[in-house]
Amino acid sequence: MPADHDTAALAAVKRFLDGEGASLEGTGNQRLEPTLDGDTKVFQLTIDKIKHRIDAVKEPVGALGYNGTWPAPRIEVVEGDRVRAVFKSNLDESTGVHFHGQRLPNNMDGVPHITQNPIMPGDSFTYEFVARTPGSHMYHSHHNATDQVGRGLLGAFIVQPRNPADRYERKYGVSQDIIWISNDSLGGFTINGRGFPATSPIVAKLGDTIAIRFMNEGNMMHPWHLHGMPMRVVARDGYALGSAEFTCDTLGVNPGERWDVIIDCEEPGAWAFHCHILQHAEARDGMFGMVTALVIQEAPTAEGARFTTASSSAGSIRTAAVGAGSTSLLCKVPGVG
């Protein structure tokens, strides 16, 4: 039994280190570029039935997506922007789109039967508003939502503060601004639409500062635990915490909440980063679901990577040590895996 567990657990880790997440198509959270109509930023989205892969092994699930991905594209605007988001439904069921966290004209709030009629199959609906609420927000279905959000109709809506000095690049000097959307319905426990080992590690360089925007689109609270160093929690639902800021290593995020954290990448290595409800992260056959890693790479030196391998079977430390060549995904080192 222990041997079987170890074999299965190691195999999953190897798949993760081999970059399974990066090998899959349909990556979510890709920035959606608007077109301009005068000074209005226009975003075109379709609402589709899709086949979505939770990982490379499981059969694709029959899901829903905006522009074909789960999570949906990241829509990012600046406070004060006039936004027009046109949604064309290719579904065979009715739907509605809610911009969660925004101040909106009531008839743009996206609650069918309360503020609009449902968007029927084949129809379009245009949401138009001024982005007044800066911070980390979301857009998702608000119609038969237990089902439709569970199947993937969810995405990040980021409103950058009007004052550039308040944006995380300037305010905290972050080199990465990362969306982290969890879900726990179709496909089980997922981060950005993938379950371990197909989750994507976060790769940073020693000395970097990064921001993570946790968004819970699921129906359970998840306490996110980072190994190795703490998180400074700076905003909740898009509102700066100010004197209510705190530091922690485990952060419970309830459904519908968004929490922004800043991480100083001070400790080199591969750090587990997972939900601490252990049933969401590890089972008899090893880690699964809500697990990823923060990999902090030391700068390469003349004589090569200084960071030494702790475990010849794992490979991750060697991977972490490979240097600053890639900051987008856990780089695959020739000979590792």
Q: Is residue 318 part of the contact set for a second copy (CB under 8 A)?
A: no
For a second copy, give the closer residue by CB, 279 or 326.
279
Cβ atoms of 93 and 66 closer than 8 Å: no
Q: Is residue 149 part of the contact set for a second copy (CB under 8 A)?
A: yes
Per-residue x/- track, 12-41, a second copy (CB under 8 A)? -x----------------------------
Residues 32-91 that bind a second copy (CB under 8 A): none
Q: Is residue 144 part of the contact set for a second copy (CB under 8 A)?
A: yes
Q: Which residue from 30, 35, 122, 246 is in contact with a second copy, where contact means CB under 8 A?
A: 246
Cα 157 from chain centroid (whole Å):
12
Q: Is residue 150 part of the contact set for a second copy (CB under 8 A)?
A: yes
Q: Which residue from 25, 39, 59, 92 is in contact with a second copy, where contact means CB under 8 A?
A: 92
Q: Which residue from 45, 97, 270, 331 is in contact with a second copy, where contact means CB under 8 A?
A: 270
Q: Which residue from 49, 56, 93, 324 is in contact with a second copy, where contact means CB under 8 A?
A: 93
For a second copy, give the closer residue by CB, 34 or 255.
255
Q: Is residue 293 part of the contact set for a second copy (CB under 8 A)?
A: yes
Choose the stretch contacting a second copy; rule: CB under 8 A; options: 28-36, 78-86, 161-169, 305-313.
305-313
Edge-to-edge strand list for the sheet holding 75-78 = 75-78, 154-160, 135-141, 97-100
Which residue in this structure is represented by tokens 């499981």? 58
Q: Is residue 188 part of the contact set for a second copy (CB under 8 A)?
A: no
Report d(CA 56, CA 293) in Å as an integer: 18
Residues 247-266 that bind a second copy (CB under 8 A): 247-250, 252, 254-258, 266
Residue type, 218: G
For a second copy, give the closer residue by CB, 69 or 102.
102
For a second copy, give the closer residue by CB, 1 or 302.
1
Residues 204-233 that bind a second copy (CB under 8 A): 219-221, 223, 225, 227-230
**Mapping DSSP to helix (H, G, I), strand (E, B) and coil, where does residue 243 land?**
helix
Report d(CA 47, CA 68) in Å as an integer: 7
Which residue in this structure is represented by tokens 């695959």? 332
> C-beta of 322: minimal distance to a second copy in Å?
14
For a second copy, give the closer residue by CB, 31 or 103.
103
3-state SS, 65-78, equals EECCECCCCEEEEE
Choose the stretch contacting a second copy; rule: CB under 8 A; options: 76-84, 123-131, 281-289, 329-337.
281-289
For a second copy, give the closer residue by CB, 53 or 226.
226
The set of residues, in sequence order, having a beta carbon less than 8 Å from that of 41 and lying 6+ positions away, is 34, 35, 77, 81, 82, 83, 84
Long-range contacts for 143-148 (Cβ within 8 Å, ≥24 apart)?
A: 143/94, 143/95, 143/96, 143/111, 143/112, 143/118, 143/119, 144/93, 144/94, 144/95, 146/185, 146/219, 148/64, 148/95
Q: Is residue 329 part of the contact set for a second copy (CB under 8 A)?
A: no
Q: How distant, in Å, are the alpha carbons of 58, 111, 112, 230, 250 from that of 45?
A: 28, 18, 19, 37, 35
For a second copy, give the closer residue by CB, 174 or 296.
296
Sign, CA torsion 201/202/205/206: negative
For a second copy, give the closer residue by CB, 77 or 234.
234
Q: Is residue 243 part of the contact set for a second copy (CB under 8 A)?
A: yes
Residues 98-117 that bind a second copy (CB under 8 A): 98, 100-101, 103-107, 109, 111-117
Report d(CA 331, CA 90) in Å as an integer: 37
